[in-house]
Structure 1
Amino acid sequence: MALKQYLIEFNHYIRFIDPKASLTVVSYNNDIQHYINYLEEQGMNDIESITYHDISGYITALNDTYEFASIQHKIVSIRQFHQFLVRSGKATHDPTQYMSLKRQGKRLPHVASDHALQTLFKMDIATGKDILDYAVLILLYRCGLRVSECVNLTFAQVYKQEKWLRIVGKGDKERMIPISDDALNALYRYIDTVRPHWVVQASEFIFIGKKGTQLTRQYVHNMIKLRCKELGIFEPISAHTLRHSFATGILEAGVDLRIIQELLGHSDIATTQIYTHVKNKTMKREYTKYLTGGFSNKGGNNDEEI
């Protein structure tokens, strides 16, 4: 059987037999397609002939063009693929059995500087596209949304009077998120003044472009890059950076970690705890700045005030 036929059967399995979220299905498919292309380029077409060393060669080839997190994701996809083949009787051995997924230390999420955020949200708003882009940006930042959660937001998920959003996240899990006044105002400015002029046919999705089609994740990614370039923001800013900045900001404001976990839609508290490292890193930087600032006491007047 051709390797691509195995991919078709794997796709059927994760869509209908053991259903995964739609984005997970797409992600697995892209990863395995890339993997199979590599195998075919190496002249490997027999699933039984694939060894641990073949997969290691593939992973090594990825190191030149992919970040560690992306490579790790591909390893997970490949492992799922080979485990399916063994379970379904299409292969007799799993060459990924001894592959390690251990991280070489956790990379701290990048948080936007205050200056970058202030510059971004002072963007000129003169056109319909400006109103749309601003609404997307402030929703990502104020609510800590993933890009997919933002572009897939529907009218039924917005509780305007109560100032809540019902978000459908990874694995179709739902969570409730409060929405700030400025984000709600920006959202309804777009809904009331721009969207009616762009509607071609009825759509449940809030965010549509000038042609009436639903906004895509790629649009958001490209828009943020262009806006930062226009505004002279040279530090790396992405949709995920805004989400990270939201999480770090509310942590520093004293919000409990469990609440942040719920707001972000993390299934494991360990994922949320990475933000405590960001907070500690900031604290250490500020403390180091204090230590190099001399010994003058500019805080209180005397010890009794402490």
Structure 2
Amino acid sequence: MAFKEFLEYLQLEKNYSKHTVTAYKNDLGSFLGFCEEEFDEKSIDNVNYSQIRSWIVMLVNNNISNRSVNRKIASLKAYYKFLLKTKQIKINPLSKHKALKTPKKIEAPFSQEEMKKVLEEMEFGDDYEGQRDKLIIEMFYATGMRRSELVNLKVGDVDFSNKTIKVLGKRNKERFVPLLPYIESIAKEYMESRKAISTPNSKDYLFLRKGGDKIYETLVYRIINNYFSEVSTKLKKSPHILRHTFATHLLNQGADLNSVKELLGHSSLSSTQVYTHNSMAELKKQYGIAHPRNQKS
């Protein structure tokens, strides 16, 4: 089997994270285990679609969600595409497979009132951690960047001269987001405080822990969850919801969908269109209020 080559390809050529590579490895391993038990197959390189279909049926019968099944099949698809590319197989057994239907997952963004309560009414403190936490939340809301992108920001990525923030996105794709004046002011104050705790281990990362080490993703999640738990009853209070909030609020205010796509770093417009659900709800609300024929006499 070409497992090892495939995983090295994902990590070295596709620049996938270790977490993603591990997920692919687990999915392929799970399918191999099924094939060994059901069909006495020691390799999955030359299985047919009927065998894959049997695995799908087993997963569904075990109450694995369609979304999770599709993710596992996506791992298999990537593997067989790699085998085709490297000429280790001639036919992709999943070439005609259609993904299982899944309900559209719409996560509720924070309201403008909730954002105002956190950013304008909440006390963050004047110490380093208070300044850092405030800038993290402001940065998420002002740029819509992903959690991993924020964690890996460098001091030099914030360009005060050109008023931009350089964001390194998926597949190492760079994009530039405008540096808004109020973010510039907060960032400059934070950077002064950062100088006092910076160490050689900091490696110029923008956001640091109090001891000078680079901040990590779990801590960022905890920061967002802690502050927004004070003002919101939503079940999910995460950096991703802030990204969702950024996009929704821009669209509600009339921003162009293509512009939001570029700011979010999406490769296709379909990824951005999921955010139009909430903006359409707001549009219907305002339409109902403003249309003359809907006014009470």
Structure 1 match to 2:122: 123
Whole-angstrom distance in 2 between the partners of 1:282 and 1:62: 39
**Could you list the per-position Cα deviations for residues 134-171 of structure 1 after superposition, in whole angstroms to 9, with x for gaps in the alignment?**
21111011111111211111122111133211222122
How many residues align? The count is 285
Question: Any unmatched runs of 5+ in structure 1?
Answer: 298-306
Which residue identity does 1:161 align to in structure 2?
S
Whole-angstrom distance in 1 between the partners of 2:181 and 2:66: 37
Which residue identity does 2:143 align to in structure 1?
C
Deviates more, 1:54-63 or 1:141-150: 54-63
SS of the equivalent of 1:234 reads coil
User: In the alignment, is the contact (CA less than 8 A) between 1:131 and 1:194 conserved in 2?
Assistant: no
Whole-angstrom distance in 1 between the partners of 2:190 and 2:58: 46
2:13 maps to 1:14 = no
Structure 2 match to 1:46: 43
**Could you list the per-position Cα deviations for residues 236-269 of structure 1 after superposition, in whole angstroms to 9, with x for gaps in the alignment?**
2221211122122222222222222221222222
User: In the alignment, is the contact (CA less than 8 A) between 1:158 and 1:164 conserved in 2?
Assistant: yes
How far apart are 1:77 and its partner, in Å?
1.9
Which residue identity does 2:156 align to in structure 1?
A
Deviates more, 1:110-119 or 1:269-278: 269-278
Whole-angstrom distance in 2 between the partners of 1:61 and 1:130: 49
How far apart are 1:110 and its partner, in Å?
2.8
SS of the equivalent of 1:237 reads coil
- State the identity as a percent: 23
User: In the alignment, is the contact (CA less than 8 A) between 2:289 and 2:295 conserved in 1?
Assistant: no
RMSD of aligned alpha carbons: 3.1
User: In the alignment, is the contact (CA less than 8 A) between 1:7 and 1:29 conserved in 2?
Assistant: no
Whole-angstrom distance in 2 between the partners of 1:105 and 1:219: 31
Question: Any unmatched runs of 5+ in structure 2?
Answer: none
Which residue identity does 1:96 align to in structure 2?
L
Which residue identity does 1:213 align to in structure 2?
D
Structure 1 match to 2:73: 75
C-alpha change, 1:267 and 1:295, in structure 2 (3 Å) is: closer
Which residue identity does 1:81 align to in structure 2?
Y
Whole-angstrom distance in 1 between the partners of 2:78 and 2:11: 14
C-alpha change, 1:34 and 1:270, in structure 2 (3 Å) is: closer
Structure 2 match to 1:149: 149
**TM-score between the two structures when normalised by the length of structure 2:** 0.80
Deviates more, 1:129-138 or 1:279-288: 279-288
- The residue correspondences of 1:228-247 to structure 2 (distance < 5 A) are 228-229=228-229, 231-235=230-234, 236-247=236-247
Whole-angstrom distance in 1 between the partners of 2:163 and 2:183: 10
- The residue correspondences of 1:153-168 to structure 2 (distance < 5 A) are 153-168=153-168
How far apart are 1:38 and its partner, in Å?
6.1
2:273 maps to 1:273 = yes
How far apart are 1:197 and its partner, in Å?
1.8
User: In the alignment, is the contact (CA less than 8 A) between 1:111 and 1:241 conserved in 2?
Assistant: yes
Deviates more, 1:104-113 or 1:136-145: 104-113
**Could you list the per-position Cα deviations for residues 57-102 of structure 1 after superposition, in whole angstroms to 9, with x for gaps in the alignment?**
46427854x682x553333222101332355455676443443226
